[in-house]
Amino acid sequence: MAKAKKKSYYINKENLEGIIKDYCEIKSIECKNPANNQTRYTLVKDAKEFYLDVYFKVNNTISMSPVNMGENVDLARELESIIDSSSDYSDVTRGTFSAKISLEQFSALIEYINALKGVEKTNDVDKGANGRIVKFITDFGDSVTLTYYESKEKLNFQGLFMNLYVIIKSYITPLEKVSISETSIFKTVSNVGNVEKLIGENLPKGYKLLDEIMAGFISDSFTMIVADTKLNDYASWVMPTMRVLEHAIKRVCLDNDIYLNDEQGFSYYIDDDQERTARLFFMNSGNIVINRDLTRHLTITLDPDTIDILVRCYDYLKKNRHEMFHTVQLVEGTKLVTTPEEARGIIIGACELIEESLIFKI
């Protein structure tokens, strides 16, 4: 009988040892085999000693095996199960998309990714007509390959549906004169029409009113729902749709001649010279309200329906914020999205507001 292949986990060494320490004491750590980075953890729980072998792979994933030695192997198996359930990602889907961006924008993107904590650039080679190929990995096994064709000003993304995918797509979306293709996923799903079905159910009128990039973000969220990648934090499912919700706020503002300063969150210019700004939203007795100075500094009158949709969109965005959201209009704070059901609920709730913002004046 063929030996069962060990499962790979997307988790870095620091987080792994944090999980272990929450369960038991680490007595010693010994590298048993440098060739495959087999590392034996000698562990103690309730005065009982047991052992776990961890294999640190070159792609920054790990596998592990309880050591059948001594009388307490059941503790090792229990710890293995805890690590399994705590791993950030499992059953990860791969995907691809392309974007038309300038060389300067691509160079800035590479510099930005390279500066992220826990990210390493493992390859950067210019193959002329075949493009410049840049590969990144994270310390928990996320990996992407970016290929840039300078003559065509075209970027191809290939990689996992994990943090770097969300970060990269979020970074390039606000860039000037950028067009982005739809994301293709490399995973068979039971019904390939489910994405379109979910979009039709949740944005029945508004989806066709979105521009191509925002429509792509909505599709991304529902694609990840259908792909059903198992995660520890499902914020990556939610994030694309939250970007569209942020865009909805900006669009309603622009429709009413309110010009936002992207560098100062939801602040707007209070004079025609676009030098002075004021916050658009603020708290009043525990409620979010629109700044009344809008009518004092500018000749702007917002009807009650417009005020209502702006406040509800901002309130929803603020309540469902997350540290990984690389949004232009930064909303401070963090939120862990712990289940696919929670992520789906947030996405559907955001779509209801996006739909309303698009059609309430039609």
pLDDT score at 211: 86
pLDDT score at 346: 94
Q: Residues, the chain, total?
A: 362
Q: Is the pLDDT of residue 100 over 70?
A: yes
Of 95, 98, 317, which Cα lies nearest the Cα of 226?
Answer: 95
Average pLDDT over residues 150-156: 93
Do the Cβ atoms of 239 and 170 come closer than 8 Å? yes
pLDDT score at 212: 80
pTM of the model: 0.58
| Type of residue found at 180 | I
Q: Is the pLDDT of residue 333 over 50?
A: no
Average pLDDT over residues 87-99: 69
pLDDT score at 331: 37
pLDDT score at 332: 38
pLDDT score at 324: 43
Q: Which two tokens stand for residue 349?
A: 């709730």
Average pLDDT over residues 128-154: 90
pLDDT score at 276: 66
Between residues 247 and 299, the one the model is more confident about: 247
3-state secondary structure of 222: helix
pLDDT band at 358 (very low <50, low <70, confident <90, very high): very high
Between residues 278 and 130, the one the model is more confident about: 130
User: Which of 183-192, 243-252, 287-296 is predicted with the least confidence, judged by mean pLDDT?
Assistant: 183-192
Domains of the chain: 13-87 (3.30.310.240), 92-187 (3.30.160.110), 190-362 (no CATH)
188 burial type by CB count under 10 A (0-12 exposed, 13-18 middle, 19+ buried): exposed
pLDDT in tens, 28-58: 999 999 999 999 999 999 999 999 999 998 8
Whole-number average pLDDT of the chain: 81
Q: Is the pLDDT of residue 111 over 90?
A: yes
Q: Do β-strands 119-126 and 132-138 pair in parallel, antiparallel, or remain unpaired? A: antiparallel
Between residues 49 and 271, the one the model is more confident about: 49
